[in-house]
Amino acid sequence: MAENPFRIHGLVTGEFFTDRVAELTRIRDALRRPASKLLVYGYRRMGKSSALALAVDQVNRQRGHAFVADLSTASTVADVSNRILQGAAAALGKRWKNVAADLAMRLQATVSLTADRATGLLLPTVSLQLRRADLEDQRATLGSVLDAVNDLARDRGVTIGLVLDEFQDIARFGGEDAEWHLRGVIQRHDYVSYVLAGSKPHLIRRMIEPGRAFYDMLDVLYFGPIEPAYFASWIEQRMRGAGVVSDGVGARIMDVAGPRTRDITQVARTCFDRASVTGKAEAHDADLAFADCVAERDDAFADFWQQLTPHQQNVLRALAVAGEGLTSAETTGRFGLASSSAVSQALAALVDAGRLVREERGARYEFDSPFLRGWVVSRALLDIGIALPVTYRAPTLPMPAAVPRLANGERTGERFAHTPDT
């Protein structure tokens, strides 16, 4: 049997990666231009990290210097320092000798060097004590790490492009002061170009509002969906290349999976597995594949559901069926919702937990995962006597096809920029 032509784990490269031409160009340009500062933000699972990694790779192949620090697992500001040091040593260590020792020497902090098992390269780590030190000390070390990268670039006569992926969490463990501190450090660097990337739009939009640290400092790239018609035809082409003929399945996958790149790829992957038996995929197979994706997550979704309050459960039911107007008399009656402030509270808690997303302006909410929405529709509506197909999506008022406007009034200028949440 042919290998599945879709990958859903980790970053995708090579033939598994498609499109993003405009985004890659913007990111590469930012990484190469001295002292530039670019914010890349969009919803989860859009494919940001894959595009960032590819852009970095392309810059390095073209004799530039760039690296990624993945901050998604960091718990302290000290951890952020480590990720930056390790990213620098791993990427630049392939080109220059003694990068780790050089960086370590430039720092005010105690640094130990550990050999990376996979590559044998030495990776610097700041003292573990620092993780429990005052926030101020941790921030000072982060500042000196970034200064060291800037000095290294200056002394070598190059620009170093630095991607901080999932940077928005720095405020979670470092406080708003950490944002201001980071702004100050970034601003004084002429030899490092920064790409700040993140997948929590509701937090990031706040960080760039007037009065907040990153206001008016960053160019902005909104990382939206891949254009649906293009993605649909790419999916069918990949299937054909692996021996599955298909006509119309791509478009149907786009319909059922929603706008997030990974969700679409996930349904396509499952669809291919089903269809590879017969060598043929029809539009209806996309619906069956979507149902499989929901069923595979049954345990996790059921656990999540159990942890909700009854009112939160009702809010999710209402959202799945009605989509909007959750505070209308008809909807509150039908789903047993409490006061409109209680509904707002439940929605806010679910946004904070990452289960719902809220559109930029207006009050529309949407499930973060189409599979959770499908689970609520197919498993939790019968309790109140509603039967709908797993792929059901609430009708919504048509959204204006405008490029989203950001809090600081800047336009994203993206070719395929879509209004978030559609």
Identify the residue among 37, 49, 369, 421 touching Mg ion (CB under 5 A): 49
- Scan residues 75-94 and list those touching Mg ion (CB under 5 A): none
For residue 166, the minimal CB distance to Mg ion (Å) is 7
For residue 343, the minimal CB distance to ligand ATP (Å) is 27
Q: Is 269 helix (H, G, I), strand (E, B) or coil?
A: helix
For residue 75, the minimal CB distance to ligand ATP (Å) is 17
Q: Is 19 a residue that touches ligand ATP (CB under 6 A)?
A: yes
139 makes contact, choosing from ligand ATP, Mg ion, none, with CB < 5 to 8 Å by partner type, with none
Q: Could you tell me which stretch among 15-23, 248-256, 299-307, 311-319 binds ligand ATP (CB under 6 A)?
A: 15-23
- Scan residues 258-287 and list those touching ligand ATP (CB under 6 A): 261-262, 265
Identify the residue among 44, 154, 183, 240 touching ligand ATP (CB under 6 A): 44
144 makes contact, choosing from ligand ATP, Mg ion, none, with CB < 5 to 8 Å by partner type, with none
Which of 309, 182, 270, 330 minimizes the C-alpha distance to 5?
270
Q: Which residue is nearest to ligand ATP (CB)?
A: 47
Amino acid type, 365: Y
Q: What is the dihedral of CA 6, 12, 15, 21, to 10 degrees?
A: 120
Paired with 38 in beta bridges are 195, 219
CA–CA separation, 105 and 141 (whole Å): 13
| Beta strand residue intervals within 245-290, DSSP E | 245-246, 280-281
159 makes contact, choosing from ligand ATP, Mg ion, none, with CB < 5 to 8 Å by partner type, with none
Largest CA distance in the chain: 70
For residue 214, the minimal CB distance to Mg ion (Å) is 19
- Select 43 or 335, whichever has its Cβ closest to ligand ATP: 43
CA–CA separation, 72 and 118 (whole Å): 21
Q: Could you tell me which stretch among 29-37, 43-51, 93-101, 294-302 binds ligand ATP (CB under 6 A)?
A: 43-51
17 makes contact, choosing from Mg ion, ligand ATP, none, with CB < 5 to 8 Å by partner type, with ligand ATP
Q: Is 42 helix (H, G, I), strand (E, B) or coil?
A: coil
Amino acid type, 68: V
- Select 49 or 193, whichever has its Cβ closest to Mg ion: 49
- Scan residues 186-205 and list those touching ligand ATP (CB under 6 A): 199
CA–CA separation, 303 and 326 (whole Å): 25
For residue 409, the minimal CB distance to ligand ATP (Å) is 25
CA–CA separation, 63 and 275 (whole Å): 44
Q: Could you tell me which stretch among 7-15, 180-188, 207-215, 295-303 binds ligand ATP (CB under 6 A)?
A: 7-15
Q: Is 266 a residue that touches Mg ion (CB under 5 A)?
A: no
How many helices and strands (H and E) does the chain possess? 16, 11
CA–CA separation, 192 and 213 (whole Å): 19
For residue 252, the minimal CB distance to ligand ATP (Å) is 18
Q: Is 17 a residue that touches ligand ATP (CB under 6 A)?
A: yes
The DSSP string of 126-195 is E-GGGGGS-HHHHHHHHHHHHHHHHHHHHHHT--EEEEEETGGGHHHHHHHHHHHHHHHHHHT-SSEEEE
Contact 376, 369 (CB under 8 A): no
Paired with 124 in beta bridges are 113
The 210-249 site mask, x for binding ligand ATP (CB under 6 A), equals ----------------------------------------
- Select 8 or 135, whichever has its Cβ closest to ligand ATP: 8
- Select 91 or 99, whichever has its Cβ closest to ligand ATP: 91
Contact 48, 40 (CB under 8 A): yes
Q: What letters, b where the CB count within 10 A reaches 16 and e where it falls short, cover 354-378?
A: ebbbbbbeeebbbbbbbbbbbbbbb
- Select 7 or 393, whichever has its Cβ closest to ligand ATP: 7
Q: Could you tell me which stretch among 4-12, 33-41, 147-155, 293-301 binds ligand ATP (CB under 6 A)?
A: 4-12
Q: Could you tell me which stretch among 38-46, 78-86, 188-196, 343-351 binds ligand ATP (CB under 6 A)?
A: 38-46
Identify the residue among 38, 39, 49, 258 touching ligand ATP (CB under 6 A): 49
Residues that bind ligand ATP (CB under 6 A): 7-12, 17-20, 44-50, 199, 261-262, 265
